[in-house]
Amino acid sequence: MERNLMKGNEALAEAAIRAGCKCFFGYPITPQTEIAAYLAKYMPKNGGVFLQAESEIAAINMVLGAASAGVRAMTSSSSPGISLKSEGVSYIAGSDLPCVIINVQRGGPGLGGIQPSQSDYWQATKALGHGDYQLLVYAPCSVQEMVDKVTLAFDMADEFRMPAMILADGLLGQMMEPVTFPERKTELPPKPWATNGHGFKREHNIVNSLYLVPEELENSILDRYKRYEVIKANHTEAESYLCDDADIVVTAYGAAARVAKSAVNRARAMGIKVGLFRPITLWPFPVKEINEACKNAKALLDVEMSMGQMIEDVKLAINCSKPVHFFGRTGGVIPSPDEVLGEIKKLSDSNQ
Protein backbone atom coordinates (compact mmCIF):
# COMPACT_ATOMS: atom_id res chain seq x y z
CA MET A 1 0.00 0.00 0.00
CA GLU A 2 1.21 3.50 -0.76
CA ARG A 3 2.75 5.40 2.11
CA ASN A 4 1.58 9.01 2.01
CA LEU A 5 3.25 11.77 3.94
CA MET A 6 0.52 13.71 5.64
CA LYS A 7 -0.09 15.96 8.58
CA GLY A 8 -1.90 14.28 11.44
CA ASN A 9 -4.86 16.63 11.18
CA GLU A 10 -5.26 16.05 7.44
CA ALA A 11 -4.80 12.31 7.70
CA LEU A 12 -7.44 12.18 10.41
CA ALA A 13 -9.83 14.15 8.21
CA GLU A 14 -9.24 11.82 5.25
CA ALA A 15 -9.78 8.81 7.51
CA ALA A 16 -13.10 10.28 8.65
CA ILE A 17 -14.28 10.55 5.04
CA ARG A 18 -13.24 6.96 4.41
CA ALA A 19 -15.04 5.85 7.58
CA GLY A 20 -18.26 7.10 6.02
CA CYS A 21 -18.54 10.40 7.88
CA LYS A 22 -21.34 12.24 6.14
CA CYS A 23 -21.44 15.50 8.08
CA PHE A 24 -18.75 17.66 9.65
CA PHE A 25 -19.52 20.77 11.67
CA GLY A 26 -16.74 22.85 13.18
CA TYR A 27 -15.35 26.20 14.12
CA PRO A 28 -11.75 27.30 13.49
CA ILE A 29 -9.23 27.08 16.31
CA THR A 30 -5.48 26.48 16.35
CA PRO A 31 -4.00 23.84 16.24
CA GLN A 32 -6.78 21.75 14.65
CA THR A 33 -7.84 24.01 11.79
CA GLU A 34 -6.33 21.77 9.08
CA ILE A 35 -9.06 19.22 9.83
CA ALA A 36 -11.76 21.71 8.91
CA ALA A 37 -9.81 23.05 5.94
CA TYR A 38 -9.28 19.55 4.56
CA LEU A 39 -12.90 18.58 5.00
CA ALA A 40 -14.11 21.86 3.48
CA LYS A 41 -12.18 20.85 0.39
CA TYR A 42 -12.98 17.16 0.20
CA MET A 43 -16.34 16.57 1.91
CA PRO A 44 -18.39 18.08 -0.93
CA LYS A 45 -16.42 16.04 -3.48
CA ASN A 46 -17.35 12.90 -1.56
CA GLY A 47 -21.06 13.62 -1.24
CA GLY A 48 -20.69 14.83 2.33
CA VAL A 49 -21.49 17.99 4.22
CA PHE A 50 -19.01 20.52 5.57
CA LEU A 51 -20.42 23.45 7.47
CA GLN A 52 -18.54 26.10 9.43
CA ALA A 53 -20.83 26.82 12.36
CA GLU A 54 -21.24 30.14 14.15
CA SER A 55 -19.76 28.67 17.33
CA GLU A 56 -18.53 25.47 18.91
CA ILE A 57 -21.84 25.28 20.71
CA ALA A 58 -23.77 25.38 17.45
CA ALA A 59 -21.36 22.91 15.85
CA ILE A 60 -21.88 20.22 18.47
CA ASN A 61 -25.64 20.67 18.32
CA MET A 62 -25.51 20.32 14.54
CA VAL A 63 -23.67 17.07 15.18
CA LEU A 64 -26.51 16.09 17.51
CA GLY A 65 -29.00 16.77 14.72
CA ALA A 66 -27.08 14.90 12.03
CA ALA A 67 -26.44 11.96 14.37
CA SER A 68 -30.17 11.87 15.18
CA ALA A 69 -30.85 11.73 11.45
CA GLY A 70 -28.79 8.54 11.39
CA VAL A 71 -25.65 9.63 9.56
CA ARG A 72 -22.06 9.51 10.75
CA ALA A 73 -21.18 12.95 12.08
CA MET A 74 -18.04 14.54 13.47
CA THR A 75 -16.77 17.77 14.94
CA SER A 76 -13.27 18.84 15.89
CA SER A 77 -11.76 21.50 18.04
CA SER A 78 -8.99 22.27 20.47
CA SER A 79 -9.21 22.61 24.24
CA PRO A 80 -11.11 25.91 24.74
CA GLY A 81 -13.53 24.90 22.00
CA ILE A 82 -14.09 21.49 23.57
CA SER A 83 -15.14 23.21 26.79
CA LEU A 84 -17.81 25.03 24.77
CA LYS A 85 -18.98 21.74 23.30
CA SER A 86 -19.40 20.07 26.65
CA GLU A 87 -23.10 20.89 26.97
CA GLY A 88 -23.86 19.29 23.61
CA VAL A 89 -21.72 16.25 24.36
CA SER A 90 -23.73 15.63 27.52
CA TYR A 91 -26.98 15.82 25.52
CA ILE A 92 -25.54 13.48 22.87
CA ALA A 93 -24.56 10.97 25.55
CA GLY A 94 -27.94 11.35 27.26
CA SER A 95 -29.71 10.78 23.94
CA ASP A 96 -27.61 7.65 23.17
CA LEU A 97 -26.31 9.12 19.93
CA PRO A 98 -23.10 8.10 18.20
CA CYS A 99 -20.64 10.71 16.99
CA VAL A 100 -16.92 11.44 16.89
CA ILE A 101 -15.32 14.44 18.56
CA ILE A 102 -11.71 15.41 17.95
CA ASN A 103 -9.70 17.32 20.54
CA VAL A 104 -6.31 18.47 19.27
CA GLN A 105 -5.21 19.62 22.70
CA ARG A 106 -3.41 22.88 23.44
CA GLY A 107 -2.36 24.41 26.74
CA GLY A 108 -4.97 25.71 29.21
CA PRO A 109 -6.73 26.83 31.34
CA GLY A 110 -8.54 29.76 29.76
CA LEU A 111 -7.24 30.83 26.41
CA GLY A 112 -4.02 29.13 27.51
CA GLY A 113 -1.62 28.75 24.60
CA ILE A 114 -1.54 27.14 21.21
CA GLN A 115 1.30 24.67 21.75
CA PRO A 116 0.74 20.94 22.30
CA SER A 117 -0.58 19.85 25.67
CA GLN A 118 -2.28 16.95 27.44
CA SER A 119 -4.08 18.89 30.10
CA ASP A 120 -7.58 17.84 28.99
CA TYR A 121 -7.23 14.23 30.18
CA TRP A 122 -9.55 14.75 33.10
CA GLN A 123 -12.06 16.61 30.95
CA ALA A 124 -12.11 13.81 28.36
CA THR A 125 -12.20 10.84 30.70
CA LYS A 126 -14.07 12.17 33.71
CA ALA A 127 -16.22 15.18 33.05
CA LEU A 128 -16.88 16.41 29.55
CA GLY A 129 -20.25 17.84 30.58
CA HIS A 130 -22.73 17.16 33.37
CA GLY A 131 -24.26 13.84 34.29
CA ASP A 132 -23.46 10.16 34.65
CA TYR A 133 -21.80 9.18 31.41
CA GLN A 134 -18.58 8.30 29.66
CA LEU A 135 -17.09 8.86 26.26
CA LEU A 136 -14.92 6.39 24.43
CA VAL A 137 -11.53 8.10 24.46
CA TYR A 138 -8.74 7.11 22.09
CA ALA A 139 -5.21 8.47 22.39
CA PRO A 140 -3.24 7.97 19.18
CA CYS A 141 0.51 8.57 19.20
CA SER A 142 1.27 8.67 15.48
CA VAL A 143 -0.31 9.91 12.29
CA GLN A 144 -1.09 6.30 11.38
CA GLU A 145 -2.87 5.80 14.68
CA MET A 146 -4.86 9.00 14.12
CA VAL A 147 -6.21 7.29 11.01
CA ASP A 148 -6.75 3.89 12.61
CA LYS A 149 -8.45 5.24 15.71
CA VAL A 150 -10.82 7.60 13.93
CA THR A 151 -12.03 4.63 11.90
CA LEU A 152 -12.45 2.55 15.05
CA ALA A 153 -14.09 5.45 16.88
CA PHE A 154 -16.88 5.68 14.30
CA ASP A 155 -17.51 1.92 14.45
CA MET A 156 -17.50 1.77 18.24
CA ALA A 157 -19.68 4.87 18.57
CA ASP A 158 -22.27 3.28 16.29
CA GLU A 159 -22.09 -0.11 17.98
CA PHE A 160 -22.51 1.26 21.49
CA ARG A 161 -24.55 4.38 20.63
CA MET A 162 -22.28 6.79 22.42
CA PRO A 163 -19.89 9.64 21.60
CA ALA A 164 -16.25 8.79 20.97
CA MET A 165 -13.33 11.17 21.26
CA ILE A 166 -9.91 11.22 19.66
CA LEU A 167 -7.70 12.91 22.24
CA ALA A 168 -4.77 14.13 20.17
CA ASP A 169 -2.57 17.18 20.64
CA GLY A 170 -0.95 19.91 18.60
CA LEU A 171 2.17 17.87 17.96
CA LEU A 172 0.30 14.91 16.46
CA GLY A 173 -1.97 17.25 14.53
CA GLN A 174 0.82 19.29 13.00
CA MET A 175 3.45 16.64 12.29
CA MET A 176 3.80 14.76 9.01
CA GLU A 177 4.51 11.05 8.94
CA PRO A 178 4.01 8.26 6.45
CA VAL A 179 0.53 6.85 6.59
CA THR A 180 -1.63 4.34 4.74
CA PHE A 181 -5.41 4.47 4.55
CA PRO A 182 -8.06 1.79 4.72
CA GLU A 183 -10.49 1.37 1.83
CA ARG A 184 -13.55 3.56 1.97
CA LYS A 185 -16.45 2.05 3.91
CA THR A 186 -19.53 1.54 1.81
CA GLU A 187 -21.70 -0.51 4.17
CA LEU A 188 -22.69 1.12 7.44
CA PRO A 189 -24.78 -0.41 10.22
CA PRO A 190 -28.55 0.29 10.09
CA LYS A 191 -29.96 2.73 12.66
CA PRO A 192 -33.61 1.87 13.24
CA TRP A 193 -33.78 4.43 16.07
CA ALA A 194 -32.90 7.41 13.81
CA THR A 195 -35.27 10.35 13.44
CA ASN A 196 -35.20 10.43 9.67
CA GLY A 197 -38.93 10.51 8.92
CA HIS A 198 -41.08 7.48 9.78
CA GLY A 199 -42.67 7.35 6.33
CA PHE A 200 -45.73 5.79 7.99
CA LYS A 201 -43.77 2.54 8.19
CA ARG A 202 -43.09 2.60 11.93
CA GLU A 203 -44.04 4.45 15.10
CA HIS A 204 -42.40 7.84 15.48
CA ASN A 205 -38.88 7.83 16.87
CA ILE A 206 -37.88 10.26 19.60
CA VAL A 207 -34.34 11.37 20.37
CA ASN A 208 -34.39 12.71 23.89
CA SER A 209 -32.40 13.01 27.09
CA LEU A 210 -35.24 14.19 29.35
CA TYR A 211 -36.75 11.81 31.92
CA LEU A 212 -38.79 13.58 34.58
CA VAL A 213 -39.46 10.42 36.57
CA PRO A 214 -36.29 9.63 38.57
CA GLU A 215 -36.66 5.86 38.18
CA GLU A 216 -36.92 6.23 34.41
CA LEU A 217 -33.80 8.37 34.28
CA GLU A 218 -32.04 5.89 36.54
CA ASN A 219 -33.02 3.01 34.27
CA SER A 220 -31.76 4.82 31.19
CA ILE A 221 -28.43 5.36 32.93
CA LEU A 222 -28.24 1.78 34.18
CA ASP A 223 -28.78 0.57 30.62
CA ARG A 224 -25.97 2.78 29.46
CA TYR A 225 -23.65 1.54 32.20
CA LYS A 226 -24.33 -2.07 31.18
CA ARG A 227 -22.94 -1.17 27.78
CA TYR A 228 -19.97 0.50 29.47
CA GLU A 229 -19.23 -2.80 31.26
CA VAL A 230 -19.15 -4.63 27.93
CA ILE A 231 -16.72 -2.05 26.57
CA LYS A 232 -14.52 -2.26 29.67
CA ALA A 233 -14.36 -6.04 29.40
CA ASN A 234 -13.66 -6.24 25.67
CA HIS A 235 -12.39 -3.04 24.17
CA THR A 236 -9.39 -1.74 26.08
CA GLU A 237 -6.19 -1.24 24.15
CA ALA A 238 -2.60 -0.51 25.11
CA GLU A 239 0.97 -0.92 23.96
CA SER A 240 3.54 -2.55 26.24
CA TYR A 241 7.10 -1.94 25.11
CA LEU A 242 10.01 -3.79 26.76
CA CYS A 243 7.97 -4.22 29.93
CA ASP A 244 8.51 -7.95 30.59
CA ASP A 245 11.75 -7.64 32.51
CA ALA A 246 11.43 -3.96 33.39
CA ASP A 247 12.28 -2.72 36.87
CA ILE A 248 10.80 0.62 35.92
CA VAL A 249 7.75 1.06 33.75
CA VAL A 250 7.17 4.49 32.23
CA THR A 251 3.48 5.26 31.60
CA ALA A 252 2.61 7.83 28.97
CA TYR A 253 0.08 8.34 26.19
CA GLY A 254 -0.01 10.24 22.91
CA ALA A 255 2.87 12.57 22.08
CA ALA A 256 4.38 12.18 25.55
CA ALA A 257 4.68 8.45 24.90
CA ARG A 258 6.86 9.13 21.84
CA VAL A 259 9.22 11.23 23.92
CA ALA A 260 9.16 8.56 26.63
CA LYS A 261 9.95 5.82 24.12
CA SER A 262 13.03 7.68 22.93
CA ALA A 263 14.13 7.97 26.56
CA VAL A 264 13.41 4.28 27.24
CA ASN A 265 15.53 3.27 24.25
CA ARG A 266 18.43 5.38 25.47
CA ALA A 267 18.10 4.03 29.00
CA ARG A 268 18.08 0.47 27.69
CA ALA A 269 21.29 1.25 25.79
CA MET A 270 22.75 2.22 29.15
CA GLY A 271 21.66 -1.08 30.65
CA ILE A 272 18.69 0.17 32.65
CA LYS A 273 15.76 -2.24 32.66
CA VAL A 274 12.96 0.08 31.75
CA GLY A 275 9.82 -0.31 29.65
CA LEU A 276 7.00 1.81 28.38
CA PHE A 277 3.30 1.25 28.97
CA ARG A 278 1.12 3.31 26.65
CA PRO A 279 -2.66 3.32 27.07
CA ILE A 280 -4.39 3.69 23.70
CA THR A 281 -7.88 3.71 25.17
CA LEU A 282 -7.97 6.28 27.97
CA TRP A 283 -11.59 5.41 28.68
CA PRO A 284 -11.87 2.63 29.39
CA PHE A 285 -8.44 2.66 30.99
CA PRO A 286 -6.53 -0.55 30.20
CA VAL A 287 -6.45 -1.90 33.76
CA LYS A 288 -5.71 -5.53 32.94
CA GLU A 289 -2.97 -4.55 30.55
CA ILE A 290 -1.15 -2.19 32.91
CA ASN A 291 -1.13 -4.78 35.69
CA GLU A 292 0.35 -7.30 33.28
CA ALA A 293 2.92 -4.79 32.04
CA CYS A 294 4.22 -3.80 35.44
CA LYS A 295 4.01 -7.14 37.20
CA ASN A 296 7.80 -7.23 37.66
CA ALA A 297 8.32 -3.51 38.06
CA LYS A 298 9.52 -1.95 41.27
CA ALA A 299 8.31 1.51 40.39
CA LEU A 300 6.38 3.42 37.75
CA LEU A 301 7.16 6.77 36.21
CA ASP A 302 4.19 8.59 34.73
CA VAL A 303 5.11 11.14 32.05
CA GLU A 304 2.58 13.65 30.80
CA MET A 305 2.36 17.02 29.10
CA SER A 306 0.35 18.28 32.08
CA MET A 307 0.70 18.60 35.82
CA GLY A 308 -0.32 14.97 36.20
CA GLN A 309 -3.82 13.81 35.34
CA MET A 310 -3.59 10.28 33.98
CA ILE A 311 -1.40 9.42 36.99
CA GLU A 312 -4.54 9.08 39.08
CA ASP A 313 -5.88 6.37 36.79
CA VAL A 314 -2.49 4.66 36.81
CA LYS A 315 -2.50 4.54 40.62
CA LEU A 316 -6.09 3.34 40.71
CA ALA A 317 -5.46 0.70 38.07
CA ILE A 318 -2.61 -0.87 40.05
CA ASN A 319 -4.43 -0.20 43.30
CA CYS A 320 -1.44 1.85 44.54
CA SER A 321 0.51 -1.40 44.83
CA LYS A 322 3.74 0.27 43.66
CA PRO A 323 5.14 3.75 43.88
CA VAL A 324 4.15 5.89 40.93
CA HIS A 325 6.47 8.83 40.28
CA PHE A 326 5.67 11.72 38.02
CA PHE A 327 7.41 13.88 35.49
CA GLY A 328 5.56 16.39 33.40
CA ARG A 329 5.91 19.61 31.48
CA THR A 330 2.89 21.76 30.94
CA GLY A 331 1.66 24.94 29.28
CA GLY A 332 2.63 23.69 25.82
CA VAL A 333 6.21 22.69 26.67
CA ILE A 334 7.13 19.33 25.17
CA PRO A 335 9.42 17.35 27.48
CA SER A 336 12.70 16.28 25.91
CA PRO A 337 13.89 12.66 25.88
CA ASP A 338 16.90 13.86 27.92
CA GLU A 339 14.68 15.14 30.70
CA VAL A 340 12.75 11.88 30.85
CA LEU A 341 15.97 9.91 30.71
CA GLY A 342 17.23 11.94 33.68
CA GLU A 343 14.13 10.95 35.66
CA ILE A 344 14.55 7.29 34.71
CA LYS A 345 18.19 7.38 35.82
CA LYS A 346 17.29 9.01 39.14
CA LEU A 347 14.69 6.33 39.77
CA SER A 348 17.04 3.56 38.69
CA ASP A 349 19.75 4.83 41.06
CA SER A 350 17.36 5.00 43.99
CA ASN A 351 16.10 1.48 43.25
CA GLN A 352 19.59 -0.04 43.37
**Which residues of this chain interact with other proteins, rule CB under 8 A?**
3, 5, 22-23, 25, 30-31, 49, 51, 53-55, 57-59, 61-71, 73, 87-88, 91, 95, 114, 170-171, 174-178, 195-201, 204-210, 258-259, 261-263, 265, 334, 336-338
Residue 89 vs 318, nearer CB to other proteins: 89
- The closest of 279, 282, 280 to 291, measured between CA atoms, is 279
CA distance 308 to 342: 18
- Whole-number minimum distance, CB 263 to other proteins, in Å? 8
* CA-to-CA separations, 334 to 260, 263, 278, 327, in angstroms, rounded: 11, 13, 17, 12
- Whole-number minimum distance, CB 143 to other proteins, in Å? 8
Residue 178 vs 296, nearer CB to other proteins: 178
- Whole-number minimum distance, CB 175 to other proteins, in Å? 4
- Whole-number minimum distance, CB 14 to other proteins, in Å? 17
- Whole-number minimum distance, CB 280 to other proteins, in Å? 16
- Whole-number minimum distance, CB 343 to other proteins, in Å? 15
Residue 83 vs 262, nearer CB to other proteins: 262
SS3 350: helix
Residue 254 vs 284, nearer CB to other proteins: 254
Distance in angstroms between the alpha carbons of the first and the last residue of the chain: 48
Residue 116 vs 284, nearer CB to other proteins: 116
Q: Answer yes or no: are the C-beta atoms of 283 and 135 closer than 8 Å.
A: yes
Please list, residue by residue across 285-303, b when 16 or more beta carbons sit within 10 angstroms of its beta carbon and e when fewer do. Answer: bbbebbeebbeebbbbbbb
Q: Answer yes or no: are the C-beta atoms of 343 and 336 closer than 8 Å.
A: no
Question: Looking at the chain, how many residues does it have?
Answer: 352
- The closest of 214, 224, 223, 222 to 162, measured between CA atoms, is 224
- Residue 11's φ and ψ, nearest 5 degrees, are -65, -40
Would you tell me the crossing angle of helices 8-18 and 143-160 to the nearest 10 degrees? Answer: 40
- Whole-number minimum distance, CB 55 to other proteins, in Å? 6
Residue 158 vs 313, nearer CB to other proteins: 158
Q: Which helix (H) or strand (E) holds 249?
A: strand 248-251
- Whole-number minimum distance, CB 96 to other proteins, in Å? 12
CA distance 99 to 89: 9
CA distance 260 to 278: 10
- The closest of 143, 151, 148, 149 to 175, measured between CA atoms, is 143
Is 5 exposed, middle or buried, given 0-12, 13-18 or 19+ CB atoms closer than 10 A? exposed
Residue 270 vs 316, nearer CB to other proteins: 270
Residue 129 vs 284, nearer CB to other proteins: 129
- Whole-number minimum distance, CB 48 to other proteins, in Å? 10
Do you find a cis peptide bond into 284, omega within 30 degrees of 0? yes
Residue 92 vs 231, nearer CB to other proteins: 92
